[in-house]
Chains A and B, each alone.
Chain A
Amino acid sequence: MGNILEIKNLKHHFADGTPGIDGINMTVREGEFVLIAGQNGSGKTTLLRHLNGLLVPTVGSVTLAGISVSENPARARQMVGMVFQDADSQIVGETVRDDVAFGPENLCLDRAEIQKRVSEALEAVRLTEFADQSPHLLSGGQKRRLAIAGILAMKSEVLVFDEPFSNLDYPGVRQILRQILSLHQAGHTILLTTHDLEKVFAHADRLIIMKDGKIARDGSPNEVVRDAEMFGVRQPCASRPGIEIGSWLN
């Protein structure tokens, strides 16, 4: 498979001059499952927000399937679906159905196509029975699934999850993990940030560790994880004595 994402010498400085990310070079293959870890403030979220043009690079470029994100941010936002850390802040609609329809409505699709996509997306995340309910009444895990449905309805190819397990209980983590894995199996490219490797480590194809806005380590999860604690990321318990890290779904 070819590269769906190419980042070249990406630097971003915030308005007050603080460096967010500093000289990132990376490529992501189509269908790859990339785990991005790093302590708070390491630049994970800043990096993700460049992938769909929410942030514009100070220096460098981000290319999605051959086309620069800066040149066509609307295409990038359709191609890269983002699930934010705070699911509540992502909810726009007054009902679950309205919220999922928000993206397709912005793509100016006709009403019949919108209804079709909304039904499919709700079915994919098993929220059909909540379609007419207020999103604010959903549990934490259900809200995350709603956010996923919102981007599925836009037919995004690359799915970006920013700390998808934060504030979730054990069943909630398992629900979301199962959902992410089924999307990966369906062919989506997944980029997922976390500072807690344990929950998803067993399923990733690649692990990137960030530190101070730079890529500190990049490679196969089993190799990179040994250095994780040097960069403020907790190493999964099982990996210390060399035991294979199991899935949270087992």
Chain B
Amino acid sequence: MAELTAFSFRTGNSLLHGLDARFKLVFLALISFAGLKAYLPGLFILTLALAAVMIHTRLSFLSVLKEIRYFLILLLFVFAARALSTPGVPVLEADILGKTMAVTGEGLYHGTLICWRLILTVLLGLLLVSSTRPSEIRAVMGWFLAPFPFIPEKRVATMIGLTVRFIPLILSQAKETSDAQRARGIENRKNPVYRLTKFAIPLMRRTFEDADKLVIAMEARCYTENRTEPELSSGRADWVALVGVVCLCILIVVG
């Protein structure tokens, strides 16, 4: 049996699961934008709010951390680059190869700010994916793109829907490929380029093969762009949530 990743839809009865997917997408955009404009107090408020929603939707903190561990490594590089490259008052200095490298207070502040914002944005996306059926996300994308001329909204929506559906599969295959290579002693090879090449090529080949199989299976089941889409219906709870989200955004930005 496969393992369910944090990037998969999970059925549930939480408030977030019950909201109209169109509203959820608007919330994602509003909060992400507010988060990018927020400073430390605002980010703290947003973190508390997201933690509460995660507990409410029963999304495990540990599984989320596990899923975003590579992203956290990337953020570490971003943080280090910011800390070392932002001009300001040095808090730590060191001579490396005859060149003085200084970590500045301003660098630490900006690095923290950027990394925090990025983590929260990823968490927001994760909450959306785990509480919204991909078919609904696909239908919502079609709904939002429909007014724009020259955009094949149903095709774009299908592509996005399938991408979302493929994320957990790719992660699961990445784990399988990684385990198989570790079983054959890949860890003895210290060259990261060699390891990355040996990992990425089979993973990509498998992903493309599976994509081909999926296309054939979809065709066999009469796939067409003109199909019965999920019903999108909004209610009072969605509008109340919208007011709540707008208030939260104001609080985050002015906080």
Contacts and interface: CB of A to CB of B under 8 A. Distances in A.
A107 B214 contact: no
B13 to A, nearest CB: 10
A211 B23 CA distance: 57
Contacts of B168: 136
Given A77-B222, A154-B222, A134 B10 contact: yes
B100 to A, nearest CB: 53
A74 B213 contact: no
A237 interface: no
A114 interface: yes
Interface residues of B, number: 31
A150 B10 contact: no
B133 A105 contact: no
B221 interface: yes
Given A94-B9, A95-B11, A105-B228, A54 B2 contact: no
Number of chain A interface residues as a range: 35 or more
Contact of B134 (A94, A109, A138): A94
A74 B222 CA distance: 6
Contacts of B8: 94, 134, 136
Contacts, number: 87
Contact of A52 (B10, B165, B210, B220): B220
A57 B239 CA distance: 55
Interface string A95-107: 1001000111111
B1 A139 contact: yes
Contacts of A94: 8-9, 133-135, 165
A231 interface: no
A103 B134 contact: no
Contacts of B213: 84, 86, 89-90
B227 interface: yes
A101 to B, nearest CB: 8
Nearest to A92: B218
Nearest to A84: B217
Contact of A106 (B165, B227, B231): B227
Given A94-B8, A136-B168, A136-B169, 18 more contacts: A49-B216, A77-B222, A84-B217, A84-B220, A86-B213, A89-B213, A89-B214, A92-B221, A94-B133, A94-B134, A94-B165, A103-B221, A105-B229, A108-B227, A133-B11, A136-B4, A154-B221, A154-B222
Interface of B: 1-2, 4, 8-11, 133-135, 165, 168-169, 172, 210, 213-214, 216-224, 226-229, 231
11 contacts: A77-B219, A82-B220, A92-B165, A92-B221, A95-B9, A104-B228, A106-B222, A108-B226, A111-B231, A134-B10, A137-B2
